[in-house]
Chain A
């Protein structure tokens, strides 16, 4: 546990990617099995201890620290785990105890229940110093926040043992912590894991934003960037000869339980890439069209799905690509061959649950730009541009795929509330709630909140905004400050929807701060009515 805590701390303080890789690789080489497997799981967010929540930790602290002092400290630090690790009262008469191994900690955490956790955790805390407690709480509650992505951790694993990271990715999603087979193969020289009969996730190919560039349509094909969720549908025949289908999200999470209607509709073994949508008319017209993202949201994140949900929001997949088909791996083949294969297989797939993402034909790039500009009416995010010769490569490779989002909508809003950020921005007022006028501001209209944003500004601007908040505070509500209605943000957003959650009756999709209008008087900001006119539900 001490070594793992030291690794986490070292990672927190290291900005260089190469140094991070070296730190993780060194740990993975030195740590014993199965400790290093659990560490790898922790770094890739692969651990879950449902008995320990942030609230559990807070509850423990409340019994030991004054609640007001706790709240003020938590607010300052911006992280419950770190606050608790620093405020935990050190035991007065600590007996020296043998060091805890990571696997011992994992086993004890797994054995906890909601009721036993508050009883058992203090003994663990008492055996560790502040650094160890921090690591323990992060491990238990998830989300390391040490600036290491799952991909970076896997790359470090590959570097540690001299194997290819692509191969690690290939096996990864079919294996479970502490990844004994993976270590046996990479570190121990054992055989590669046998996964042919598992419907496992293959990493997605992703796109770069097309900034100001122009592409030649002779080289690139265009298709709509549909506004659903990217999914991978995998069917494999298991050892009993039965086909098993799973649905994976972009991050490789198995979301099959959320979309049961997709689990027995693939007639052959395959790995397909597409956009999951629900039926409707907002995207792609009346016939066979899809509803807006807002409708799809009704279906997301559910562990069980009611009949009514299945009836009212039926899901289907609009297919983009084929990775594997009936045992054949198409990923090395150029996009145009994969596209032809996909088109050939379409008639075999039930139209009730599949359709094909149509190509957008245009004479030239300028014509394509015009088509893209008209896309807003169809609630589509923009266009995808795919190189006709591109293989299907995991991750984001330059110049193969581009996403060409349409320009955002803009509205001028007035800052109303600010909240301190967390993580890198703890102590800075970096989350802003802003509003629009419900009438003529010069005739006594009021501001109603329309959204919240915490991105779109530079670090320098953040400092200035933070100062503005501190100097213009009207009221404090815990971590939230109400500020004088004097600062205007030009807010960019992708779309706006009707929402019962907000008093304004509106919810913006992906709002971010486009420009800070230090110069603009608040009464010149936009009105709710002009925002409402943009609703396309």
Chain B
């Protein structure tokens, strides 16, 4: 008797279970063996027995959880036999440093779990690799047709213009501490901004980690080391989104509050956060990328993990593609 197709992979509310290998992908609760796509906290939780991930993701997890216990590295393109006749391969996802899609192969069936991904170019990480498969398990964070992330150059130009227009203020940019912050800094450098970029303390360690992995971020200094409030006029400061409206920002001279996030496409989202300069910069695929990628990968079936799965499901239906939504819990609409 043969098992029905793909019965070896089973979505549960707290993660995707690879049954014959008894391993989990991005589980939201501690398990004996976890395969992790990338270092964001909602995907890379601590406390697993063994954690298999790319070296950069493991380094990020070590920084967060202060332990390397059970860490087991997998290089991009390296195929690992994880037992039970299952082979796992980590492929670049273009989301943040170390981010990967995980390709699982078993009994001639191929499944890809994208984790989070984007198709837009990013100088801080390797580009998404389109790989054929039978089942494509995709994210859908920005899975609504209204989400179009403009070219990042336009948004960086807005940021640099605001700096010129507000010489007496500093531009305070809220950016997710892992990935977004480093991408914004790298893009500012690419746009010719060579001056010091000031950091909130919570950004420092992750920026250093990126530099150790070969991402050049230029002259970075901590806001707490600034000589005076006045010295910050005309400067660019990068801080986690939670610090934007916090007491911390009072030390800055009349800051113009910016935020780098895909949610900034919607006015009221910017208003809810008191953002004066919305920068539509996201590390996730926008609607066009999500739908284009499904077309290019051309799977027999698409499973949608988290985000606005209803709309992507509808798109699949309209385009005669088999699809289903998985009810996974624990993934958050991060400040992306």
Contacts from A to B (Cβ < 8 Å): 9, 12-15, 65-66, 68-69, 72-73, 76-79, 82-83, 86-87, 134, 147, 423-427
Contacts and interface: CB of A to CB of B under 8 A. Distances in A.
Contacts of A424: 268, 271-272
A83 B146 contact: yes
A72 B314 contact: yes
Nearest to B270: A13
Contacts of A83: 146
A424 B269 CA distance: 7
B276 A14 contact: yes
A68 B314 contact: yes
A426 to B, nearest CB: 5
B267 interface: yes
B269 A87 contact: no
Contacts of A9: 267
A76 B268 contact: no
Nearest to B318: A66
Interface string B277-291: 110000000000000
Given A69-B311, A73-B146, A13 B266 contact: no
Contacts of A423: 268
Nearest to A19: B276
B93 to A, nearest CB: 25
A278 B148 CA distance: 55
Contacts of A12: 267, 270-271
Contacts of B151: none
A426 B268 contact: yes
8 contacts: A13-B270, A69-B314, A73-B146, A76-B308, A82-B267, A82-B268, A86-B265, A87-B145
Given A72-B314, A79-B268, 8 more contacts: A13-B275, A13-B276, A72-B310, A77-B266, A79-B267, A87-B145, A424-B268, A427-B269
Given A72-B311, A426-B266, A426-B268, A77 B146 contact: yes
Contacts of B274: 15
A65 B315 CA distance: 11
A481 to B, nearest CB: 13
Given A72-B144, A73-B144, A78 B310 contact: no
- Give the bracket for the number of chain B residues in contact with chain A: 20 to 34
A427 B277 CA distance: 21
B263 to A, nearest CB: 9
B268 to A, nearest CB: 5
B276 A76 contact: no
Interface in B225-275: 265-272, 274-275
Interface centre among B272, B274, B278 (most CB of A within 10 A): B272
Contacts of A86: 146, 148, 265-266
B311 A73 contact: yes
A14 B266 CA distance: 15
A66 B272 CA distance: 28
Interface in B29-72: none
A211 to B, nearest CB: 27
B308 A72 contact: yes
Contacts of B144: 69, 72-73, 76
Contacts of A15: 274, 276
A69 B308 CA distance: 11
B168 to A, nearest CB: 13
A78 B188 CA distance: 33
Contact of B146 (A13, A66, A87, A426): A87
Nearest to A422: B268
A76 B146 contact: yes
B62 to A, nearest CB: 30
A13 B277 contact: yes
Contacts of B272: 424-426
Contacts of B146: 73, 76-77, 83, 86-87
A498 to B, nearest CB: 38
Contacts of A427: 269
A425 B276 CA distance: 17
Contacts of B275: 13
A69 B315 contact: yes
A220 to B, nearest CB: 39
A361 B30 CA distance: 71
A66 B316 CA distance: 12
Contacts of A76: 144, 146, 266, 308
A91 B144 CA distance: 20
A77 B310 contact: no
A424 B272 CA distance: 6
Interface string B202-233: 00000000000000000000000000000000
A532 to B, nearest CB: 39
A69 B145 contact: yes
B308 A78 contact: no
Interface centre among B146, B269, B278, B310 (most CB of A within 10 A): B146
B46 to A, nearest CB: 23
Contacts of B308: 72, 76
Contacts of A426: 266, 268-269, 272
A334 B131 CA distance: 82
Contacts of B267: 9, 12-13, 79, 82, 134
B231 to A, nearest CB: 24
Q: Which 5 residue pairs of A and B lie closest in terms of their CB atoms, listed nearest first?
A: A86-B146, A72-B311, A426-B268, A68-B314, A13-B276
Contacts of A78: 268
A82 B266 contact: yes
A426 B267 CA distance: 10
Nearest to B143: A72
Contacts of B145: 65, 69, 73, 87
Nearest to A16: B276
B314 A66 contact: yes
A308 B144 CA distance: 52
Contacts of A13: 267, 270-271, 275-278
A14 B276 CA distance: 6
B274 to A, nearest CB: 6
A425 to B, nearest CB: 8
B6 to A, nearest CB: 27
A174 to B, nearest CB: 35
Interface centre among B144, B276, B310, B314 (most CB of A within 10 A): B144
A145 B314 CA distance: 31
A384 B314 CA distance: 57
Contacts of B266: 76-77, 82, 86, 426
Contacts of A66: 314, 318
A335 B270 CA distance: 46
Nearest to A459: B272
Contacts of A77: 146, 266, 268
Nearest to A68: B314
Interface in B124-164: 144-146, 148
A69 to B, nearest CB: 5
B164 to A, nearest CB: 16
A408 to B, nearest CB: 29
A76 B146 CA distance: 10
A425 B272 CA distance: 7
Interface centre among A72, A76, A134 (most CB of B within 10 A): A72
Contacts of A72: 144, 308, 310-311, 314
Contacts of B148: 86
A86 B144 CA distance: 11
A397 B41 CA distance: 51
Interface centre among B268, B270, B272 (most CB of A within 10 A): B268
A15 B272 CA distance: 11
